[in-house]
Structure 1
Amino acid sequence: MRIILLCRHLSLFSELGFAGGKSKSLYGKEGHLGQTLIKFVNNPAGLKEAERLAEFLERQDHGRVGWSRVQATHSLDPDTSPLLVETDNRGEKKRILYGYLAISSDMDELDSDSRKRATLKSRRDFDPSD
């Protein structure tokens, strides 16, 4: 099992100072789903790194709630919407990273291969005091 963070528009992951995750783009019958899995090591350090990234994105309003808000706006142009693309001080456009820790209801979003390999664990499974 890996600790999974579902991300949208993955870019600059390592440049943000996050390490230890391996990414995998998700595909469906119609092609790329616009989602990337970031898998972390199955230990307390991996969980901590995944939580740190999820909290970082949540503070920017780019977590689960922020992504739900983006999805609710169906008419967004993915190349120009300020919810999906930001322009840096040089005028270059970069996709905005959205992500959150996967929970059991997110399993349906995974491709069949990832779904077969994933198992669910409680955070308590990582707590050595129990």
Structure 2
Amino acid sequence: MLLLLVQLFLYLCFYSYSKEFIDTQRLVNHAFMSHKVGLRAQHLGLHKAVCVLLGWDTTLPLDTVTWAPQVLPEAEAVAQKEDLILWPPIVVIHNISMSNNIPQEQKVIPMEGVLAYLRGKGFITGRVNVSLGRPADQSVMVVKFLGTFPGLANTEKLHKYFSEIKRGRVDFQRIISNDGKSSSGTKKGKEGNKMEEQLLYGYMAISEDLDKLDFNNRKWSVIKSRKEIQELANDPVKVDGR
């Protein structure tokens, strides 16, 4: 069972008071080794959550009683993080202009404007919920799709769109790391869709994005393996026991 990141923090806070776990590796080794009745699933969830967070292989050894961290190549570590998505599926959208230190260059795009923009692009055809994220200053908005296979497909489609126009997660992280300056993303902004295309960055929410959600979405979100969901979708339906 996968744990919410909040649960991970609670575990870490609890164990931080124990001299037995003086470093992360000993904590994760304990989580793997523990066989306490009724707590095995929670410990394995903690083991996986910490490994994903630190870029370690989450595969559990079957023929040993000890565990040692195996550092994954960067590409594999990123893929492992991106596999743990929030469910129901969510796309986090940032208005990059709101991080500008010059108030006159901040361009507010209301939730209705974001929704209209996405509908105009053909990414939203069914039921979705658009709400303010954290902080609730119009800089972060979350678009929650239905927890269904079509809902996941629409989420992935929108995620791919932002990535292809260089407005995805990597692009957002790069621009905000530029000394906190985002003026280069606001000077080109114009009215209508041009402004949205210049100012909005988006990506599918994964476990580390929980802190970007508002209280209600964070409360009702769980973490699921994207790979396992896709395998379930592709699994042939058995008829008459065959």
User: Residues 108 and 64 of structure 1: is their aligned pair in 2 closer, same or farther, counting only changes over 3 Å?
Assistant: same
Q: How does 1:50-65 map to 2 (within 5 A)?
A: 50-65=155-170
TM-score normalised per structure 2: 0.45
Which amino acid letter does the alignment assign opposite residue 111 of structure 1? D
Alignment-derived partner of residue 49 in structure 1: 154
User: Residues 91 and 37 of structure 1: is their aligned pair in 2 closer, same or farther, counting only changes over 3 Å?
Assistant: closer
Alignment-derived partner of residue 120 in structure 1: 223
Greater relative contact order structure (CA < 8 Å, 6+ sep): 1
Structure 2 unaligned residues grouped into runs of 5+ = 1-86, 96-108, 236-242
Quote the offset at 1:91 in angstroms.
9.8
Q: How many angstroms apart in 2 are the aligned matches of 1:129 and 1:16?
A: 28
User: Residues 22 and 84 of structure 1: is their aligned pair in 2 closer, same or farther, counting only changes over 3 Å?
Assistant: farther
Q: How many angstroms apart in 2 are the aligned matches of 1:61 and 1:87?
A: 15
Larger Rg: 2
**Are residue 13 (structure 1) and residue 99 (structure 2) matched?**
no
Which amino acid letter does the alignment assign opposite residue 59 of structure 1? E
Q: How does 1:50-129 map to 2 (within 5 A)?
A: 50-73=155-178, 74-76=180-182, 81-84=183-186, 86-88=188-190, 94-95=195-196, 96-123=199-226, 124-126=228-230, 127-129=232-234
Quote the offset at 1:113 in angstroms.
2.5
Q: How many angstroms apart in 2 are the aligned matches of 1:47 and 1:14?
A: 17
| Percent identity over paired residues | 28
Alignment-derived partner of residue 39 in structure 1: 144
Q: How many angstroms apart in 2 are the aligned matches of 1:92 and 1:53?
A: 16
Which amino acid letter does the alignment assign opposite residue 56 of structure 1? Y
Higher strand proportion (structure 1 or 2): 1
User: Residues 5 and 92 of structure 1: is their aligned pair in 2 closer, same or farther, counting only changes over 3 Å?
Assistant: closer
Structure 1 unaligned residues grouped into runs of 5+ = none
How many residue pairs get matched? Answer: 123
Q: How many angstroms apart in 2 are the aligned matches of 1:110 and 1:64?
A: 16
Q: State the 4+ residue runs in structure 1 displaced beyond 4 angstroms.
A: 90-93
Higher helix proportion (structure 1 or 2): 2
Q: How many angstroms apart in 1 are the aligned matches of 2:90 and 2:194?
A: 27
